Structure 1
Amino acid sequence: MSAELNPTREKQGPVFGSGLSAGEFAERVRLNQRKLRSDLKLQYDVIVCGSGSSGSVVARRLAENPNVSVLLLEAGGGDDVPSIMDADKWPLNLGSERDWNFQSQPDSRLNGRSIPLNMGKVLGGGSSINLMAWARGHQSDWDFFAKEAADPAWSYASVLQIYRRIEDWHGAPDPKYRGTGGPVFVEPAPTSNPIAPAMLEGARSVGIPTFENQNGRMMEGEGGASIIDVRARAGKRQSVFRSYTFPYMDRPNLTVLTHALVTRLIFEGKRATGVEMFYDGKTHRVGAGLEVVLSLGAIQTPKVLMQSGIGDQDELQRLGIPVVEHLPGVGQNFQDHPGHGCIWEYQEPLPPRNTLPEVTFFWKSFSGRESPDLQTCQGEVPLSSAENAARFGLPVSGWTLFGGVVRPKSRGRIRLTGPHPLDPVQIEANFLSHPDDLKAAIACVELCREIGNSAALRPFARREVMPGNLKGAALERFVRDAAITYWHQTCTAKMGRDAMSVVDGHLNVYGVTNLRVADGSIMPRVTTGNTQAPCVIIGEQAAGIVRTQYRL
């Protein structure tokens, strides 16, 4: 693993409170981790599986106690590559070795299409390959979580205080909603492309109010439009791994292993005692003195649970996997935000800035809703499904209104195809399988067209490329052909109290001990908007619960 920080940090002098320059600290990390990897222990206090937006937080918070030994396992490799560090190069990661390259099953409701479902396979997980948007979720999301868990610690009022504590907000001061001095650098996209304020004006022209930023009060009501809050600084990505974990990697109690694929959990009866992993060419078993935390994401977390004997007993027995605990909800309730690209050709080409999208709006598919069920990001490049790109053609220079359904009613599932760790999973995404989602998607495309063709954006548009003025069956075909992932795969090990719940309000896996899940899979429903920020909250909650339980 290379451990250099990006060079822009060098100019800022001492970092991480160590008194060292970024380069000096990176070298200290490299030497420390080399030593820790060469002398792996048979047991650690806590094993955290997955270094994404939740796992990185859990590992850091537990490693803050020097008496707690933490092993953080990541199936992918290091993150010190330009496509990760340079904020505007994120599309280069899609389909690369830093991507799990999952694919959904072909689906007749998408005209027989299979959807690529990109997920980060690298230090930082999704936070190292995503668009870097910081969207906290709507007030109603968190209050729904609290209701499902019967725990007010998940309520919006409680979570808002965590957000304020962890943020380092670099926008206009907003002390009621925003915090400063925390590990999470956030700012509104700076020095935006001229098309960004034009889109805000276009949103206002159709009755969508604009706000000072996309979080805070905007996400307590019916929605609005704003410049995007981003996790990038001076053109460099600020992944959750770099913000949380990396500053503690010079310590003797935090070991970070890359290219370490977690294959199974180890149980003694109903008690999780460690993990099995494939590392350095062979299978290893490592013990966990306190517990194992699964933070592998909404596809790998249920896969490992099922391979370890936790899932629907009929499915497990069909594959010859011994049943440890019958939990039929494992792998069920899969949710994502389907997105649809509406594209215009530029009147005069403008180079994209920041992370490529700079403006977002959240709004309602029909006027009777109390909270938004649609989200659109304005992309400063063309973004389309392969099918619609082939049908309509893509301009050399263009921009996109990428409209998403963020309160989907459709539910998919993750299934094993075999008992072995390298057997692929079968992903039934089931986009647009609920008729209300199709209606919402059509409403979103129509709203994007209304804004995209508004007077405010006319100076930036030579022509509308897609969809054009389609109606009825032709518009429905466009929507089914357009649907691709917003990269917000979640909900496959949901928190709750019904028979299909997998974890309780403290994120303990039902029916077993010493095993917790902390990632987007625990969401009872997908949050309204990009999911990085809620996954950080899930990590903070999990770490706080573990520290309290074991008095760490």
Structure 2
Amino acid sequence: MPEAQTYCVPDQINSRNPILVCSAAQASSNGFCDGVFDYIIVGGGIAGCMLASLLLKSKPSPSALLIEAGPDMSNHPLTQAPLACFAAHGSDIDLNYKTVPQAHLDNRLLYEAGGKAFGGGSATNYATWTRGSKFDYDRRGGLLGDSRWSYNGLLHYFEKIERDYISTVAVSESSSSRKYPLRDQVLKAWLGLGLDKIANANSDDPIGCQRNGRELEGWGKAADEHSV
């Protein structure tokens, strides 16, 4: 069981603050396992945090225990600067997944990052946002026989996330006007290989080349699901 972490944990469950957030160690050592909750959510990743948020907003607000094996990343040094995310690879906040052997890559096992923290993978993000391909979402919806998992079925949630900002943080759009000497050459190389230059990476067909945008909070901190 992981070592207990320090979190902002309410003293008790009540109608004003019905979501209790704690580490797995806290849940055991503080006696939370002996309590009674309407819901217990195991895993404080993106899905777990979202589910807890939806429960909190539902009526009547049920009590819920959200348990996460990893730490609270609110003030973790790897979340304070966007490019620090590279240092998270293989660290104690990375689940360090490996893929199955890849038949078209000489059967190699590839590294797959997975955030071991409140917020999950969003806690070790690269401050970028790109929707997936409509083809992939529609294929998944077809395999499940449920259009809610298709691109159009999920589009409402994509747009909701893109509009969801912390109310106390002003949103602005700016450019440093920095010139990257290799950018044009890299773009020419990709176009020469047959990729298209796209105007909007969040269109339903994002396969191509485009300068990526970044979502920054405060003095450059990459926003994560737990804080958003």
Is residue 144 of structure 2 the alignment partner of residue 164 of structure 1? no
- Aligned counterparts of 1:54 and 1:62: Cα–Cα separation in 2: 12
| Closer, same or farther: CA 215–106 of 1 in aligned 2, 3 Å | closer
Aligned length: 199
Q: What is aligned with 2:68?
A: 74
Instruction: Select 1:212's aligned residue among 188, 192, 199.
Output: 199
Contact 2:126 2:222 (C-alpha < 8 Å) held by counterparts: no
- Aligned counterparts of 1:111 and 1:217: Cα–Cα separation in 2: 31
Q: What is aligned with 2:95?
A: 100
- Displacement of 1:121 in angstroms is 1.2
| Closer, same or farther: CA 95–146 of 1 in aligned 2, 3 Å | closer
Equivalent residue runs for 1:25-64 within 5 Å: 30=8, 33-36=9-12, 40=32, 42-64=35-57
- Displacement of 1:229 in angstroms is 3.8
Structure number with the higher strand fraction is 1
Equivalent residue runs for 1:189-338 within 5 Å: 190-191=175-176, 194=180, 195-219=182-206, 223-233=207-217, 234-243=219-228
Equivalent residue runs for 1:122-521 within 5 Å: 122-168=117-163, 182-183=164-165, 190-191=175-176, 194=180, 195-219=182-206, 223-233=207-217, 234-243=219-228
- Letter paired with 1:76: G
- Aligned counterparts of 1:205 and 1:123: Cα–Cα separation in 2: 42
- Letter paired with 1:235: G
Structure exhibiting the larger radius of gyration computed from Cα positions:
1
SS class of match (1:71):
strand
SS class of match (1:54):
helix
- Aligned counterparts of 2:222 and 2:72: Cα–Cα separation in 1: 14
Contact 2:37 2:65 (C-alpha < 8 Å) held by counterparts: yes
Contact 1:134 1:230 (C-alpha < 8 Å) held by counterparts: yes
- Aligned counterparts of 2:147 and 2:213: Cα–Cα separation in 1: 27
- Displacement of 1:204 in angstroms is 3.7
Normalising by structure 2, we get a TM-score of 0.70
Contact 1:188 1:229 (C-alpha < 8 Å) held by counterparts: no
Contact 1:85 1:237 (C-alpha < 8 Å) held by counterparts: yes
Contact 1:189 1:228 (C-alpha < 8 Å) held by counterparts: no
Give percent identity, aligned residues only: 25
SS class of match (1:51):
coil
- Aligned counterparts of 1:70 and 1:206: Cα–Cα separation in 2: 51
| Closer, same or farther: CA 118–167 of 1 in aligned 2, 3 Å | closer
- Aligned counterparts of 2:143 and 2:99: Cα–Cα separation in 1: 28
- Give unpaired runs (5+ residues) of structure 1: 4-29, 169-181, 244-552
Contact 1:188 1:227 (C-alpha < 8 Å) held by counterparts: no
SS class of match (1:144):
helix
SS class of match (1:226):
coil
| Closer, same or farther: CA 116–187 of 1 in aligned 2, 3 Å | farther
Contact 1:99 1:118 (C-alpha < 8 Å) held by counterparts: yes
| Closer, same or farther: CA 71–231 of 1 in aligned 2, 3 Å | farther
- Aligned counterparts of 2:179 and 2:117: Cα–Cα separation in 1: 30
Contact 1:189 1:229 (C-alpha < 8 Å) held by counterparts: no
- Displacement of 1:146 in angstroms is 2.0
- Letter paired with 1:230: R
- Letter paired with 1:144: R
What does the per-residue CA deviation read over 1:387-426, in whole Å, with 9 as the maximum and x for residues that have no partner?
A: xxxxxxxxxxxxxxxxxxxxxxxxxxxxxxxxxxxxxxxx
| Closer, same or farther: CA 151–103 of 1 in aligned 2, 3 Å | closer
- Displacement of 1:140 in angstroms is 1.2
| Closer, same or farther: CA 71–196 of 1 in aligned 2, 3 Å | farther
Contact 1:94 1:118 (C-alpha < 8 Å) held by counterparts: yes
- Displacement of 1:115 in angstroms is 4.7
Q: CA RMSD in A?
A: 3.5
- Letter paired with 1:61: L
Instruction: Select 2:85's aligned residue among 81, 90, 102.
Output: 90
- Aligned counterparts of 1:158 and 1:103: Cα–Cα separation in 2: 30
- Letter paired with 2:36: Q
- Displacement of 1:166 in angstroms is 2.5
- Displacement of 1:239 in angstroms is 0.9
- Aligned counterparts of 1:109 and 1:197: Cα–Cα separation in 2: 30
- Give unpaired runs (5+ residues) of structure 2: 13-21, 23-29
Structure 1: 4+ residue segments shifted above 6 A: 104-113, 184-189
Normalising by structure 1, we get a TM-score of 0.32
| Closer, same or farther: CA 58–47 of 1 in aligned 2, 3 Å | same
- Aligned counterparts of 1:189 and 1:138: Cα–Cα separation in 2: 27
| Closer, same or farther: CA 151–109 of 1 in aligned 2, 3 Å | closer
